[in-house]
Amino acid sequence: MDKLVIEGGSRLTGTVEISGAKNAALPIIAASLLTPDQSVIDNVPALSDILTMIKILRGLGVKLQMEQGRLSIWPAKFTGFSALYRLVSTMRASICVLGPLVAKKGIARVSLPGGCVIGPRPIDLHLKGLAGLGAKIKIDHGYVVARAKRLRGKRIYLGGAFGSSVLATANVMMAATLASGTTIIENAACEPEVVDLANFLVKMGAKIKGQQTHTIEIEGVKKLHGAKYRIINDRIEAGTYILAAAITKGEVVIKGACIGHLGALVDQLRGAGATIKNTADTIYVQGTNKLHPTQMATLPFPGFPTDLQAQMMALLSVADGISVITEKIYPERFMHISELNRMGARIMKEGPSAIICGVAKLSGAPVMASDLRASAALVLAGLVAGGRTEIARVYHLDRGYDQMEQKLSRLGAKIWREKE
């Protein structure tokens, strides 16, 4: 098992290039099951979560080949319909094979998903949506089993206790492409990754309207064909490097970043004192010697992303004053607080909120990653902490960041990987 070692205190400068979006790639890979034809997906990041999805499809009998960011998929001969616990248990996004399998094969058997420990994340909206399309669903020995001779379009409301669901929207949208009639998803997620999936499905021959809105209309077709597609770049990776530049008082150009995907983050950072400028596909960040505190809440897109909450908390831990972050997507997503406090931060949890009293300086310490984005927050804290920080369990980080230590090293950080 690996750990990351960081000698803090270096100011980040230079240019960093953003990789393809993990959260767009995973459902797009699953969507390839909807056709027997070959699909080719470019800009696929080299991440452990991508490898897990490849293994799941291979377990179904799909042929795949990954080479230099290009994933070629040949689903013509796949006969399987079961996604096994040993793979699905490691990654929540595995559930997005459920919709394509039941739409294409008429049966799906998918283990209840795992992934990061960030609080309860039920799949009730997935099941509600597919049942609305006519699938018969039961839970059997830890597996979701869904059956349908032919799905039928319907108006489906996908609102949950904490807003819309990205993966539930993806699952229902994929299944609806082969359903008879028209499906209307109300309170659909409109994150860029959902739009990217819809655009891929349209390239496959699907008839979809309303992506980028909370009402998506899908007119079912009899069959889809293969497609060649380039996925969007990763807005969460881009946001993490923007925050890394700001926390180190650095000056960094983020290449391949779309400011339209990061409006809430940019607004918060400008309010905190950072300078941010952009072109069509780059974002320039210059940190400030005095970070201002803020009050903010995570919300569905275009609100502040829950996947940047931990990294923002690391930044605010060294701001000059008291900040408050309220988590409205996953109210229990605060396991990073105790580890940041080990490094000298002063953070208290009050219900779904964290109260951050900024300190002048953090200090390096041995810490442990609890989930993917908490790992990134500890890296950011380590970049500005005095002395050495050692982060254990960085396999979490490898799920969502392609070559993070190499990219940070090229920006001037003193960071490397060692065996624990």
Residues involved in catalysis: 116
Q: How far is CA 320 from the centre of its chain?
A: 30
Rounded CA separation 280/236 (Å)? 18
CA distance 418 to 420: 6
Task: Tell me the pairing of strands 63-67 and 346-350.
Answer: unpaired
Selection from 320, 322, 305 nearest residue 267 by Cα? 305
Q: What are phi and psi of 387, to 5 degrees?
A: 85, -155
Number of H helices, E strands in the chain: 14, 24
Structure tokens at 109: 């058997």
3-state helix, strand, coil in the chain (%, to 5): 35, 30, 40
Q: Are strands 388-392 and 366-368 parallel, antiparallel or unpaired?
A: parallel
CB 248 within 8 A of CB 10: yes
Residue spans of beta strands (DSSP E) within 8-56? 13-17, 39-42
Pairing mode of beta strands 282-286, 322-327: unpaired
- 46: exposed, middle or buried (Cβ count in 10 Å: 0-12, 13-18, 19+): middle
